[in-house]
Chains A and B, each alone.
Chain A
Amino acid sequence: MNTDLSIIKKQKRIRKTRSTLITYLMLSPCLVVLVCFVLYPLLWVLRYAFFEYDGFRTAKFVGLYNFIRVFTRDADYWKSVANTAIYAVGKLIITVPLSFLLALLFNSRLRMKSVFKAVVFMPTVISTAVMSMIFYFMFNSYNGIVNQMLMKASLITQPIEWFGRDTAMITAILVAIWGAVGNYMIYFLSGLQTVPEELYEVAKLDGANYFQTLIYVVLPVLGPVLQTVLMLAIVTSLKGFESIMVLTGGGPAGATDVMYLYVYRAFFPMQGEASFTPQYGYGSAVAIVTALIAGVITVVYLRVSRNMDGE
């Protein structure tokens, strides 16, 4: 009897070990990639933050010098942090409600909605650089199609300088909204499709109108989706810099310089043929501070939004 039990136990152990081994084997490609392309570079960034290094000469240990420079002498960086906040808030307050409204529209009985859905989603699959380059030509003040259309419609009499110091950030936000709205619309749409039909029927029986149903029935059910969408929107807004790099290069006069573009330029400071010495050490320190800022904002958001997960 005891022998049978021990055999069964042994077989169970073997099966468990095999299953664990298979799990790790299946995970191993991902783990290798994670270690090589995420953890290893991350460790180097952490290391270089304490060095003065330009990529060619021998790195020189400077202790906390780079961090002291970020916090005490680099007003341009803190301006880029403020710009990032404006960019993120501007993008969020329009993108999220607009995505939700579009999702509601596409969740209704609309003819040819697959076509419209595809059109709205299209920017998500287009290269950011290509998209931004097209917007650069569309918004340019001398012969851009946006100004021409506004002037033809008699909405303006003089061309708007879309890349001027006071307007460039608005232009960058508009481009960001265009690029993001389709993506979040899909999240909302999938959330809306999970709302049980019975809930609508109960609300109808209780005499709730469309807006009451939306606010008291649909939105609470969509809580977890909204929480995820907002988190994604916050993180991508804080990290986004590709379209700004193509549209304005952070200019004019730093008006659209955002945190991660600033970090990028510390590593790759060249403009055309002109070479400015790369500052890998300082760039690493700025990257760490920037990641901490983005991380703290995300954690605070997740704590504040705990009630949205529907529990």
Chain B
Amino acid sequence: MRRSMKKIACLSLGVCLSVLAFTGCSNTPKTEGTVAEEGNTAGKTNTAKTKITLWTGQRADYVIREEKLAAYNEASEDTEVEMQIYTEDYATTLELSFTSNQAPDIFQVVNNAKYYVDREMLLPLDEFLTESEIARYGDLFGIDQVNMVDGKTYTLAERGITYRLIYNKDILAAAGISEPPKTMEQVYEYAKQITEWGKDQGIYGFAIHLKTPASVGERVIDQVGFRNGISAYNYNEGKYDYSVMKEVLEPFKKMYEEGIMFPGVEGLEIDPLRTQFAAGKIGMYIYGSWEPAIYAEDGQFPAENSWGVSTIPGIGTETPMGKTDIKNAGKSWGISSTSKNPEKSWEYIKYMLSDEYMTEYHEEGYGIVVIPSVAEKAKAPDMAGMDGFAMSTDLDKIWPVRPDTAGLSVEGKNAYDTYASIILGAIDMEQGLSELTERYNAALDKAERDGVTERVIITDFDASK
């Protein structure tokens, strides 16, 4: 009896597997580059649409992007756009897709155009651009190496990320602090005050996410430097000098050494940091204008407290002379050099950058749109904290490309890993910065000799302008 039961069970499983295997193999065949129309097609022709793939590394604006994309696909008679989001290692995945011939038609340009042009990943957009289109972008059109290389345009401005200090109003008030810090010295003092007051409740003054040193380096350390007119790359002379970063790194190093920072910052990523801020465990941190959407009621981590946004503090002064770098300003989407449908890809990019699309994007608080025709008319987004991130000519600017952001290959640890090691006390500050200066200059000399990377020299560069 038991044997026959086993036989029946085995037979049933076998049948199930066979059915699954056959159904798996019986998908409607799809022609490469096209996709059959799906869903309710009543009242529409049943012709196959051209499939356009789009890759992005950003999830924060997924809701509006998906909604707009669905509307486009619904309205378009000949194109079906498919969006794929790669939040983890987007840059790696994108580059691998080119080496394995699986690149998308459209991709989010997160690096300067020069980086991609050197790798033959982008197609010029000039043949699609009309004069009125060019005029629409004003000064943001034709930024050398950012969106234009050797006189050809590869991507266009869309939105920009601004950087600010984010603080928990309730914590600051409870610790006896009346207003957010204006200097990095105050950041240290306030963080210390908060930690001393709240440590027993698991509340700490300041946090950074050192598990990803590149993110901290680019979005925290560099931004504090830029706001204070400090850059490790000397644009006037076209040389690296990392010794200038000492005063930027010192407050962070001091906070870590004295146990003022949130415990476990060495292994902290940005999302766990955000969850702890939303839960009211972190007093202050520095980051970009993605944050309001994250802490909104329907955001990724709705905040359980009242929080505010303040400008990045000065070093030794309450009125720093520099400006933070507007990340991603000047670049947005690009067409892959391997795309078989550049015209249709351009049509979708044009749709994404249109006044109508961008105005809604801006007003709903998904990002700060920099296209002049939108920025002039769009209403301020109704989202807590967004006003603090609003772009301002006094606070923000687009910093020129540096050789290392244009693909300079350097021997040994990169600058951001070294910054993290300095903050954690694993490397002596002077020694670490001096080695960086030596290695980056050696790499630049070699790259220039080999004709791989250009030395950027702007003799009249002024960080305050």
Point out residues on A near B: beta carbons under 8 Å. Answer: 54-57, 60, 69, 73-74, 76, 136, 140-143, 159, 161-165, 168, 247-249, 251-255, 268-279
Q: Which residue of the partner chain, among A73, A163, A274, contacts B218 with CB atoms under 8 Å?
A: A274
Nearest residue (CB) in B for A55 is B99
Nearest residue (CB) in B for A141 is B264
Q: Is A140's CB under 8 angstroms from B267's CB?
A: yes
Nearest residue (CB) in A for B443 is A277
Kindly state whether residue B226 has any CB partner on chain A within 8 Å: no
Q: Is A270's CB under 8 angstroms from B218's CB?
A: no
Q: Is B276's CB under 8 angstroms from A142's CB?
A: yes
Nearest residue (CB) in A for B215 is A272
* A-B CB contacts (within 8 Å), total count: 128
What chain B residues lie within 8 Å of A276 (beta carbons)? 214, 410, 414
What chain A residues lie within 8 Å of B210 (beta carbons)? 251-252
What chain A residues lie within 8 Å of B409 (beta carbons)? 54, 277, 279
Q: Please report the C-alpha to C-alpha distance between residue A299 and residue B332 in the assembled complex, in whole angstroms.
A: 53
Q: Report the minimum CB–CB distance from B279 to chain A (whole Å).
A: 9
Kindly state whether residue B321 has any CB partner on chain A within 8 Å: no
Nearest residue (CB) in B for A139 is B267
Q: Is B266's CB under 8 angstroms from A163's CB?
A: yes
What chain A residues lie within 8 Å of B99 (beta carbons)? 55
Q: Which residue of the partner chain, among B202, B214, B264, B281, contacts A274 with CB atoms under 8 Å?
A: B214
Q: Is B426's CB under 8 angstroms from A272's CB?
A: no
Q: Which residue of the partner chain, among B91, B413, B421, contacts A270 with CB atoms under 8 Å?
A: B91
| Given A55-B99, A272-B212, residue A254 in contact with residue B267 (CB < 8 A) | no
What chain A residues lie within 8 Å of B95 (beta carbons)? 55, 270, 275, 278
Among listed B37-45, B114-122, B184-192, interface-contacting one: B114-122
What are 16 of the A-B contact pairs (CB < 8 Å)? A73-B411, A142-B263, A142-B281, A161-B263, A165-B266, A249-B211, A251-B267, A252-B211, A252-B266, A253-B426, A270-B95, A274-B91, A274-B215, A277-B409, A278-B95, A279-B409
What chain A residues lie within 8 Å of B450 (beta carbons)? 60
| Given A161-B263, A252-B267, residue A272 in contact with residue B91 (CB < 8 A) | yes
Q: Is A142's CB under 8 angstroms from B202's CB?
A: yes
Q: Is B118's CB under 8 angstroms from A56's CB?
A: yes
Kindly state whether residue B365 has any CB partner on chain A within 8 Å: no
13 additional contacts, CB 8 Å, given A161-B263, A276-B410? A57-B118, A142-B264, A163-B267, A164-B267, A165-B424, A247-B267, A251-B211, A252-B211, A252-B424, A254-B413, A270-B95, A272-B214, A279-B409
Q: Which of B96-127 contact A (CB under 8 A)?
A: 99, 110-111, 115, 118-121
